[in-house]
Amino acid sequence: MSKKKELQIDLPDPTESAERARDKLHQTRQLREATSARIAVGHVGGRPHTRDGLLFSADHAVTQDAIMRPVDPDLLLEMQLLQVNSRATTRQQYLRRPDLGRMLDDAAIATLRDHLTLQPDVQIFVGDGLSAAAVEHNLPILLPSLTLALAEAGLSVGIPFFVHNARVGLLNAVNGLVDAQVCVLLIGERPGLARAESISMYMGYRPKSDTTDADRNVISNIYQNGLPPHTAVQQAVALIQKMIAQQTSGIALV
């Protein structure tokens, strides 16, 4: 005789009075609280609710603004950063021609040759990348604390500067001029909807013209409510020391 399996229902009985009264949106709320992603927003026929439609447009505007506008010029002056340009001359061109954002223009090459200290242990520079807001939110804390922490670790640090319309690949061009052991780029990340304040540190050991992303490391999502700048600085110093000790970076680093 085959054994009958006892039927077990693990769902609460909806006929019980507590269940009858339970908030039907409870699970949806739990899901929404678990993520900042735009989930369970509902719809009215084929359209979003007016509130959600407006919120999406407002959040999208934050993103567009962060990508299209320049970094506050007063901040760059306040931080006494030398300013140079990549080969992308407008924001439109920057977005359409990433290759131009990876090269310094002729004036930049001349300026950096005139002003930079050659062969520091670490060269730091800053780029707008895809978010002016990211640079503005983090630079005043991140740059001085990184410079100080590297100096405290006994490493010499080159003169920092700012590149307009910058891409990550500039690490190669810059180190072609300064010949640092490690080159570090603080750059605005591609913004998410309504979140534009996140900056990254891309870095590599002795980058040169044929260096690729596989030879680089990145510490990302740096902002006060993400990876806080001070924690990012600690991680960066440890990573840079490791690169120098192992004379390599990227996927070769152990």
Q: Are strands 161-164 and 82-85 parallel, antiparallel or unpaired?
A: parallel
In angstroms, give the least distance from the CB of 170 to ligand B12: 8
Distance from the Cα of residue 80 to its chain's centroid: 23
Half-sphere exposure of 204 (CA within 13 A, CB side): 24
In angstroms, give the least distance from the CB of 214 to ligand B12: 6
Rounded distance between C-alpha atoms, residue 130 and residue 168, angstroms: 11
Q: In the beta sheet, which residues pair with residue 11? A: none
Name which of 112 and 132 has its Cβ closer to ligand B12: 132
Name which of 158 and 223 has its Cβ closer to ligand B12: 223
In angstroms, give the least distance from the CB of 241 to ligand B12: 18
Rounded distance between C-alpha atoms, residue 99 and residue 96, angstroms: 9
Name which of 150 and 203 has its Cβ closer to ligand B12: 203
Name which of 121 and 128 has its Cβ closer to ligand B12: 128
Cβ neighbours for 9, distance < 8 A, ≥ 6 positions apart: none
In angstroms, give the least distance from the CB of 53 to ligand B12: 25
Name which of 95 and 159 has its Cβ closer to ligand B12: 95
In angstroms, give the least distance from the CB of 57 to ligand B12: 22
In angstroms, give the least distance from the CB of 151 to ligand B12: 25
Name which of 123 and 202 has its Cβ closer to ligand B12: 202
Long-range own/partner contacts, residues 72-81 (CB < 8 A, 24 or more apart) = 72/132, 72/136, 75/135, 75/136, 75/139, 75/140, 76/162, 79/139, 79/140, 79/143, 81/126, 81/160, 81/161, 81/162
In angstroms, give the least distance from the CB of 37 to ligand B12: 14
Q: Which residues bind ligand B12 (CB under 6 A)?
A: 98, 129-130, 167-169, 187, 189-190, 198, 200, 213-214, 216-218, 220-221
N residues, the chain: 254
DSSP, residue by residue, 64-92:
HHHHHSPP-HHHHHHTT-EEEEBS--SHH
Distance from the Cα of residue 46 to its chain's centroid: 35
Rounded distance between C-alpha atoms, residue 94 and residue 86, angstroms: 9
Name which of 30 and 133 has its Cβ closer to ligand B12: 133
CB 38 within 8 A of CB 57: no
